[in-house]
Amino acid sequence: MSNRLPIRLGGITVIKHIRDIAKDAVMVRLAPELSRSDALLRIYEASGGEAYLSREMAERGHDVTVSNYRLLGTPGVREVQCDLNLPLPFADGSFDVVLCREVIEHVESVPHTLREFRRVLAPGGRLVLTFPNRLQVRSRIYHLFSGFYRGMASPINLDVPFGEAHINLIGYPEMDYFLRKAGFTVTGVSSSYFVLLDRFLEPLRWLVRFTTSLAVLHRKPHAEEHDKTVPLNRAYNAFVADVITGPDLFYGKDVIISALRLEEGSAPFTPPTR
């Protein structure tokens, strides 16, 4: 069975990996605006490369802009050249949706790039962000024995140009914190790529879920930057622990986050209702 499938884009046939098809399906599910047919969106995909999803959105009539570090001549969309480590060449509030697909782990400063994404989003705009999941179960085991994570399995060779490797392979908790401090609130977290055999490690997931709960809710409850006696802090800790030990991020090899741009002064985290 082939792991690549032909799809039609702009009157031509392109070959798309089934993992990319699955990832794009989850991204669209977490960004319901992309599925609507009654409102056209201004969409920006950062370092989009071939930008298959954005090109599909352009075919539906959306106004799509793609940036790349080096211009690739990506067909069917407006393409601009820019470096995500620098200010983006767009005015404030230029877009309704920003897509960043397997790119954020390559940038020098994740908070800077997230703040730029917020700046170019219109009020209430959505960011959909994907990156490798270093807390996936086999990545955790690999880290235990090697000190490295899957996705950055050994030191980066010094002859690799800066940014072409996973120089910021961070975990979900750090990314959640960065997003909220940059002015977003997280509305959905999922994954798209699973290996069936990992499900046999389900007993380990429940053990990790228990020990994670102990660590984030009870260990050193009065540490200054981790005070666990404040109800809002406890609720946030419990939320993060639930996400990283839930089935999606325990087994999934990628992290897909949907986040909304907050207005100034809005609470970045509201405890979920049970």
pLDDT, one tens digit per residue, over 17-42 is 888 889 999 999 999 999 887 889 99
Q: Do the domain assignments include residue 219?
A: no
Q: Do the domain assignments include residue 210?
A: no
Q: Do the domain assignments include residue 236?
A: no
Q: Do the domain assignments include residue 139?
A: yes
pLDDT digits (tens), the chain, 274 positions: 568 777 777 667 777 788 888 999 999 999 999 988 788 999 999 999 989 999 999 999 999 999 999 999 888 899 999 999 999 999 999 999 999 999 999 999 999 999 999 999 999 999 999 999 999 999 999 999 999 999 999 999 999 998 899 999 999 999 999 999 999 999 999 999 999 999 999 999 999 999 999 999 998 888 888 888 899 999 999 999 999 999 999 999 999 999 999 998 898 998 876 5
Assigned token pair, 193: 């790529």
Domain total in the chain:
1
CATH of the domain at 33: 3.40.50.150
**Centroid of chain to Cα 240:** 15
Alpha-carbon distances of 56 from 29, 37, 95, 274, rounded to whole Å: 15, 13, 17, 37
**Centroid of chain to Cα 182:** 14
Q: Do the domain assignments include residue 274?
A: no
d(CA 148, CA 132): 14
Residue whose tokens read 């994907």:
130
Domain that holds residue 127: 4-196+252-261
Amino acid at 154: S
Instruction: Say how many Å lie between the first and final Cα of the chain, rounded.
Output: 43
3-state secondary structure of 117: helix
What are the backbone dihedrals phi and psi of residue 29, each rounded to the nearest 5 degrees, phi first? Answer: -65, -40
Q: Do the domain assignments include residue 218?
A: no
pLDDT for res 274: 57
Q: Do the domain assignments include residue 18?
A: yes
What is the reported pTM? Answer: 0.94
d(CA 117, CA 169): 19
Q: Are the beta carbons of 120 and 94 closer than 8 angstroms? A: yes
Q: Do the domain assignments include residue 38?
A: yes
